[in-house]
Each structure stands twice: as C-alpha cells, then as structure tokens.
Amino acid sequence: MKVIMLGAPGAGKGTQAKKIADKYQIPHISTGDIFRANIKNGTELGTKAKAYMDQGLLVPDELTLELIMDRFKEPDCKNGYVLDGFPRTIPQAEALTRALEEQGESIDYAVNVEVPDENIISRMSGRRACLSCGATYHIVHIPTKVEGVCDRCGEKLVLRDDDRPETVEKRLGVYHSQTQPLIEYYTSQGKLAEVDGTQEMEAVFEAIVKILGA
C-alpha cells in the first residue's frame, strides 16, 4: 500500500503516519525527519537544508527529490510506504507520479488531514520532538510519562527551532501557496480522501483506517 499524508504543518500527519506504518507494516518516510537526521549528523545535505528550514521555507525540489528517490530504492519500500511531508509542491507530486508510472504503479490514497489555521499555532507551540527516535508529543494533548523525556527512548525532548510562532506563521503561508494545490491535484487523480484532523488522535486514526481498509 502506498499512502501520502497531506495537511498543514502541525495537522497531525506524522502522528497518524506512525500509526499507519505500525498497523499496515510499511515504512514511515518523513522528508522532515530525514533532513533533521542529516542536520544532526552534520552532513552537507543537512547544512544546505537547514538554511531553508530555519526560515520556514521549503528545501528546493532538486535536493528533496534526490533524497527521496534514493530512499525509494531501499528494500523496505517493496510493499509500499506512508509518505509524510512529501510531496509538498506540484513539481514534487509530478515527479512522484512519473517515477511510479515507470514501474506501472501509482499511489493508493492521498489522505488530507484537515485542521484549520486557528488550531495550528497552539498545536505547534506545544509540540515536543525527540530528535533521537523521531517520536512527537504534545505538552497538553499527547503528554509524555515524564515531562520533557521521550517515552520510547529516554532522550530529552526539544521544541523544534521552526516551531516558534513567527516561523509557524510563515510555514502556514508557504503551505497555502505551495502545498495546498496538491489537494486539487490528487482530487483530479481520484486519490484524495479527507479526514477531520481536529478530532482526538484515536478518532482521526479510526477515520483513516475506514478509508484504507482494516
């Protein structure tokens, strides 16, 4: 199964993508996580990407596409994947469609997790991330057992540099101008499915499972 998660920054794509990956036994591929791992490891790609990410801008398509096309070559992708944060622009979506077409394939669903802008700022300012294992929490809605410590791996949690309110507003603008057009793109391909992302986490997941099948 090949699934794309669409939605604004903070809509809950990553949270749901992890649950989908667990249930359907497919890899969760997050371009944001891959960029952050590169930044942490001080790679050249990481240095290039960080300059854009810190400003709330998208990393250029060439760089992103090179990275994701390499990722698709890994053996764990043979049964599909759940994509979180990719594609984020029309050229990225077109490149994905072409790459799959060359193998006689296509994605199954693009799931749009809908959350209005008003809710996004509070979701993001409360988000705490584990840069070690990729887990994500929320100080109010999805708290950890011990404050500030990852339940899964015990690392210290951080507020991402790009989750500060000034940068979040900019990222929302970028989302509306560059990523939202993908909703139309996947609607016209007959692949779009919508879920109400303002519900609590488990209810959102139930709605997604109804779409993907149990």
Binding site for ligand ADP (CB under 6 A): 7, 9-15, 31-32, 35, 52-53, 57-59, 64, 85-86, 88, 92, 123, 126-127, 136-138, 141-142, 162, 171, 200-201, 204
Determine whether 13 is an active site residue. Answer: yes
Catalytic residue among 19, 128, 171, 191: 171
**Opening angle at CA 204, ends 198 and 209, nearest 5:** 160
Name the residue nearer to ligand ADP (CB basis): 20 or 162. Answer: 162
- What's the Cα-to-Cα distance from 118 to each of 3, 31, 124, 196, rounded to whole Å? 27, 25, 11, 14
Closest CA to 113 of 36, 180, 168: 180
Residue with the two structure tokens 């930044």: 39
Contact by Cβ (8 Å): 88, 179: yes
Q: How far is the CB of 65 from ligand ADP (least distance, A)?
A: 9
Active site residue 160: yes
By CB under 5 A, tell whether 132 contacts Zn ion: yes
Residue in 87, 122, 117 with CA at minimum distance from that of residue 2: 87
Residue spans of beta strands (DSSP E) within 7-156: 28-30, 81-84, 109-114, 127-129, 136-138
Task: Please say which residue, 191 or 205, places its beta carbon nearer to ligand ADP.
Answer: 205
Closer residue to ligand ADP, CB minimum distance, 104 or 200: 200
Is residue 153 close enough to count as binding Zn ion by CB under 5 A? Answer: yes
36 catalytic, yes or no? no
Binder of Zn ion out of 6, 8, 59, 150 (CB under 5 A)? 150
Q: Residue 192 in contact with residue 110, Cβ under 8 Å?
A: yes
From the number of C-beta atoms within 10 Å of its C-beta (0-12, 13-18, 19+), residue 193 rates as: middle
Catalytic residue among 88, 123, 128, 191: 88
Catalytic residue among 19, 127, 128, 191: 127
Q: Of 11 and 20, which has the nearer Cβ to ligand ADP?
A: 11
Mark whether 71 is an active-site residue: no
Q: Which residues are part of the catalytic machinery?
A: 13, 88, 127, 160, 171
